[in-house]
Amino acid sequence: MARIFITGTAGFIGYHLARLLLDEGHTVAGFDGMTDYYDVALKQRRHAMLLQSQGFSATEAMLEDVAALDAAVDRAAPEIIVHLAGQAGVRYSLENPRAYIDSNVTGTFNVMEAARRHAVAHLLMASTSSVYGANTDMPFRETDKADTPMTIYAASKKATEAMGHAYAHLHDLPVTMFRFFTVYGPWGRPDMAPSKFASAILQGRPIDLYNHGEMHRDFTYVDDLVRAIRLLMFEAVPVRPADGRVPEGDSLSPVAPWRVVNIGNSRSERLLDFVEALETATGRTAIRNLMEIQPGEVTATWADATLLERLTGYRPQTDMRDGVRRFVEWFRAYHDL
């Protein structure tokens, strides 16, 4: 069993990953800033459930607080660090871009320094499908250029990928970056479309559909996502190529133990189909408010998960309608609806 340090354990994905690892018997030290970007009570509830496990401990502090972060990592003495914390949200980056630089860039630098100091066996860090930006050639492959970010959120995540590569090269620190694609499921963030749509549909309020609903997303169920992360942690540690040669289709760096991996469901589905799945699961009809596309919004995402499957033997596969049904069951129970 391993000692694992996870940032963002009170968050949606961090909670599910910590739960999976604790169930397997690993020791997990969590770290979360408990910011009020969305309902802190939901974050506290997630942490409270994790704290029921003897193998879990938690520190509440900001990534920018170097002393608190270093102290927490020193206590945990981790073999693996999974960095999931950060300022999320494409649309919020239009309102408060500085939060993304402070948390995603400065905070990630602090995590990398802690990983270097402890010489961890593997550092894994969250990126996003948003880094593909204005790319229109789909499905998105890790070897595609990602030089056209359309928001500060996407740019901050692309910066962390580059920073991770530099640390991998300079310090021989194995680094895996994973790009997430529209994650949804129980305990999801209330600022994301599934929760906002479910709440509105159940309460008879209209839902806002940007670009008149003509959007496509690679919806990835959270259980699939964290299973993929767990497999990457232990079974796909990148190694610097001795001769600088990289297998075709692999995003492994020729000069560093660094790799980027897509984690997606490998299907680009219409947002309107997702809404219809919510209508079926709730037994209600949505009131649709069709709107123009917002600045920085991409109309489609679609992951090529071939590399993930090659490295781990696993590919996310939960059918969107099944995942939506499970999400709605949780949403009704949590909100007593």
Active site residues: 153
Q: How far apart are CA 302 and CA 316, in angstroms?
A: 13
Task: List CB contacts of 76: < 8 A, sequence separation 6 or more.
Answer: 3, 5, 29, 57
Phi/psi for 170 (5° steps) reads -75, -35
Q: How far apart are CA 127 and CA 153, in angstroms?
A: 10
320-335 and 193-203 helices, crossing angle to 10° = 60
DSSP 134-198: T--SSSB-TTS------SHHHHHHHHHHHHHHHHHHHH---EEEEEE--EE-TT--TTSHHHHHH
Q: How far apart are CA 229 and CA 247, in angstroms?
A: 22
CB burial of residue 155 (10 Å; 0-12, 13-18, 19+): buried
CB burial of residue 78 (10 Å; 0-12, 13-18, 19+): buried
